[in-house]
Amino acid sequence: MAAVPAEAQESAAGPAGRPRHVAIIMDGNGRWATERGWPRLVGHRRGAERVKQIVRACPDLGVDWLTVYAFSTENWKRSTEEVLGLMAIFARYIRREADAMAAEGVRMRFIGGRERLDPKLQQLMSGIEARTAGNTRLNLTVAINYGGRDELTRAASRLAQRLTSGEVAAPPTEADLAACLDTAGHPDPDLVIRTSGETRTSNFLPFQAAYAEYEFTPVLWPDFTPVLLAEILDRTSLRQRRFGTA
């Protein structure tokens, strides 16, 4: 039987057995707006407001790490209007929340390929990462232009370079590959939540979430409240995570 990865062993639950690292696939913004006869971007703007509420609730719920799936490598297939609107929402969120995050002790980081993003957005991302680098109350990671297979492909390329240079000894280990991921240095998620009723993982953190618990809820993301998060955390805390040992 395969050994339990160190990352899985170290990803300990928080107070009262609650997950320490929660990852969320924030699905259903467009449907939420369409059901109300509104443009899809209205749902995305409402979803961004919901992120702010969840971020502020996490520390009191015992969550130290929050990773949210904001834009996938596949989302570029959406209409130009929606993609440009989403990018504008990301930029506006960073600008408006920079002061609050700095004051509230939130460290913000991004994962995913940045080369396809607008240079001004890239500058905003790098700026808030640098500004909040010393914060420790909550670690917020936002996945933009992220896809798990893309991340693994890029990590394999980095690992090959390190092998060639002698920085990594052959044969490489699981830890060597993990160190080449976008999430290097982050604990693995204990819990992955997907909203909107879909039951797919959609290429989100396939390596990191190998030992995570999953929770699928029919609630659309703009309606996902801190109260619902607390209820899911309570349920999850009752599960026993054996990591293949029993």
**CATH number for position 61:** 3.40.1180.10
Q: Is it the case that residue 240 has pLDDT exceeding 80?
A: no
Please identify which of the residues 75, 118, 135, 223 carries the catalytic annotation: 75
Residue 33 pLDDT greater than 60, yes or no: yes
- Mean local confidence (pLDDT), 194-214: 97
Check: CB of residue 62 under 8 Å from CB of residue 15.
yes
Structure tokens at 231: 């209820």
pLDDT tens string 107-160: 999 999 999 999 999 999 999 999 999 999 999 999 999 999 999 999 999 999
Q: Is residue 10 domain-resident?
A: no
Is residue 78 in a domain? yes
Confirm whether residue 194 is marked as ligand binding.
yes
| pLDDT band at residue 1 under the 50/70/90 scheme | very low
Does the global pTM surpass 0.75? yes
Note whether residue 181 is domain-resident: no
Rounded CA-CA distance 110/128 in Å is 10
Provide the percentage of residues in the chain whose pLDDT is more than 70: 90
Q: What is the mean pLDDT of residues 234-244?
A: 72
pLDDT on residue 243: 53
pLDDT reported for residue 237: 84
* Domain containing residue 123: 16-147+188-235
- Cβ-based neighbours of 166, under 8 Å, separated by 6 or more: none
In the block, residue with structure tokens 């819990």: 191
153 lies in some domain: no
Model confidence at 234: pLDDT above 90: yes
Tell me which amino acid residue 224 is.
F
Position 99 in a domain: yes
- Is the backbone of residue 80 left (phi > 0), alpha (psi -120 to 50) or beta? alpha
Q: Residue 200 has what pLDDT?
A: 96
To the question of whether residue 164 is assigned a binding role by annotation, the answer is no
Res. 241 pLDDT band, cuts 50 70 90: low
- Of the residues 27, 182, 188, 190, only one is catalytic, namely 27
The verdict on residue 166 lying in a domain is: no
How far is 209 from 193, CA to CA, in rounded Å?
Answer: 11
User: Are 18 and 62 contacting, i.e. CB atoms less than 8 angstroms apart?
Assistant: yes
Instruction: Tell me the pLDDT of the chain averaged across its residues.
Output: 92
How far is C-alpha 30 from the chain's CA centre? 19
The answer to whether 202 is a known ligand-binding residue is yes
Whether residue 118 lies inside any domain: the answer is yes
50 is in an annotated binding site: no
Rounded to an integer, the average pLDDT of 218-237 is: 96
Note if 145 is an active site residue: no
Question: What percent of the chain has a predicted confidence (pLDDT) above 90?
Answer: 88
pLDDT at 118: 97
The rounded distance, in Å, linking the Cα atoms of 14 and 149 is 29
The answer to whether residue 77 is domain-embedded is yes
Q: In the structure, what pLDDT confidence band is assigned to residue 6 with cuts at 50, 70 and 90? A: very low
237 carries a ligand binding annotation = no
pLDDT band per the 50, 70, 90 thresholds, residue 10 = very low
73 labeled part of a ligand binding site: yes
pLDDT at 218: 98
Query: What total of structural domains would you count in the chain?
Result: 1
Asked if 135 is an active-site residue, the reply is: no
User: What's the pLDDT score for residue 42?
Assistant: 98
